[in-house]
């Protein structure tokens, strides 16, 4: 087979920081909420493209631990948008075999919203298609702190010795336990940082930053990110493009 006919390597797991909604709205003289609302379209596009291409997992940063500090009006409009999106999209996600999971500190949400998130997860739990992880009230430091608490509790109860704790033990307590680490990270909106997202899981992830504001992120931008990934030589700290076993 010629090299051009060979398929470009695809990420198994893509993680995205969807940034730029507020600026997109401001540029149009609209309220920030208009930007968040317009941000639902590229969410749909990414889910569709990942499912179509056989990418196993997609993780979206929808609301960070720090976002609670935004004006009350913006926080509550975002909550309403999540509920609306759940209502309007869940049937289709389910019909397309998507397994929906929410990662983050859900205890921070109103009880009724927590129940809706749990019901959506339960409904799609047996699906075998794309694993869609939506990070809500999520922070990488919170995730690691929670994992440390779980391990400490096992040590106190006598089930685990501190000296025996392995990286795998810690990884198994994290919110994305069971999913492979993201291969490709995308951040839209021009900033070049990871902003407390998946601090552990992004250790060897290829990082792609693009200037497009999230509501404008389209299939072409998505393909540019995939092409960037395909062109990377992944060494995982080794000297050749040979991942350690299990990666």
Instruction: Quote the CA–CA distance of 152 and 159 in Å, as a whole number.
Output: 10
Half-sphere exposure of 53 (CA within 13 A, CB side): 21
Determine if 23 is a binding residue for ligand FPP (CB under 6 A): yes
How many residues make contact with ligand FPP (CB under 6 A)?
20
| 8 and 227 Cβ atoms separated by less than 8 Å | yes
Instruction: Quote the CA–CA distance of 144 and 201 in Å, as a whole number.
Output: 10
Determine if 67 is a binding residue for ligand FPP (CB under 6 A): yes
The correct pick among 13, 15, 16, 36 for binding ligand FPP (CB under 6 A) is 36
The correct pick among 15, 16, 34, 43 for binding ligand FPP (CB under 6 A) is 43
- Would you say 147 or 208 has its CB closer to ligand FPP? 208
Rule CB under 6 A: which of 136-175 touch ligand FPP? none
Measure Cα distances from 101 to 59, 123, 224 in Å: 9, 11, 27
The correct pick among 79, 81, 160, 165 for binding ligand FPP (CB under 6 A) is 81
Strands of 149-223, DSSP E: 184-187, 206-209
107 is annotated as an active-site residue: no
Give the Cα-Cα-Cα angle 187, 188, 191 (nearest 5 degrees): 75
Q: Which of 167, 150, 164 is nearest to 244 (CA)?
A: 167
The correct pick among 10, 31, 40, 171 for binding ligand FPP (CB under 6 A) is 40
| 104 and 138 Cβ atoms separated by less than 8 Å | yes
67 is annotated as an active-site residue: yes
CB-CB neighbours of 27 under 10 Å: 11
- Would you say 147 or 221 has its CB closer to ligand FPP? 221
- Would you say 71 or 159 has its CB closer to ligand FPP? 71
- Would you say 19 or 143 has its CB closer to ligand FPP? 19
| 214 and 18 Cβ atoms separated by less than 8 Å | yes
The least distance separating ligand FPP from the CB of residue 183, rounded to whole angstroms, comes to 21
Return residues touching ligand FPP (CB under 6 A).
Answer: 18-23, 36, 39-40, 43, 60, 62-63, 67, 81-82, 85, 134, 189, 214
Active-site residue set: 19, 67
């Amino acid at each position: 087979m010629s090299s051009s006919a060979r398929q470009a390597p695809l990420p198994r797991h893509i993680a995205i920081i969807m940034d730029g909604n507020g600026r997109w709205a401001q540029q149009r003289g609209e309220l920030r909420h208009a930007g968040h609302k317009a941000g639902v379209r590229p969410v749909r596009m990414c889910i569709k493209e990942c499912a179509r291409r056989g990418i196993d997992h997609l993780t979206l940063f929808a609301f960070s631990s720090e976002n609670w500090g935004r004006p009350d009006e913006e926080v509550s409009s975002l909550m309403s948008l999540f509920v609306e999106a759940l209502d309007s999209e869940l049937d289709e996600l389910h019909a397309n075999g998507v397994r929906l999971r929410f990662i983050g500190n859900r205890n921070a949400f109103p009880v009724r919203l927590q129940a809706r998130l749990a019901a959506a997860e339960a409904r799609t739990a047996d699906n075998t298609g794309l694993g869609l992880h939506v990070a809500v009230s999520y922070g990488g430091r919170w995730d690691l702190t929670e994992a440390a608490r779980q391990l400490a509790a096992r040590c106190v109860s006598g089930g685990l010795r501190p000296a025996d704790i392995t990286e795998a033990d810690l990884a198994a307590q994290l919110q994305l336990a069971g999913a492979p680490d993201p291969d490709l990270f995308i951040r839209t909106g021009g900033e070049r940082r990871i902003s407390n997202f998946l601090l552990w899981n992004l250790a060897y992830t290829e990082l792609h930053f693009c200037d497009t504001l999230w509501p404008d992120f389209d299939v072409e931008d998505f393909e540019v990110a995939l092409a960037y990934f395909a062109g990377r030589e992944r060494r995982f700290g080794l000297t050749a493009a040979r991942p350690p076993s299990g990666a």
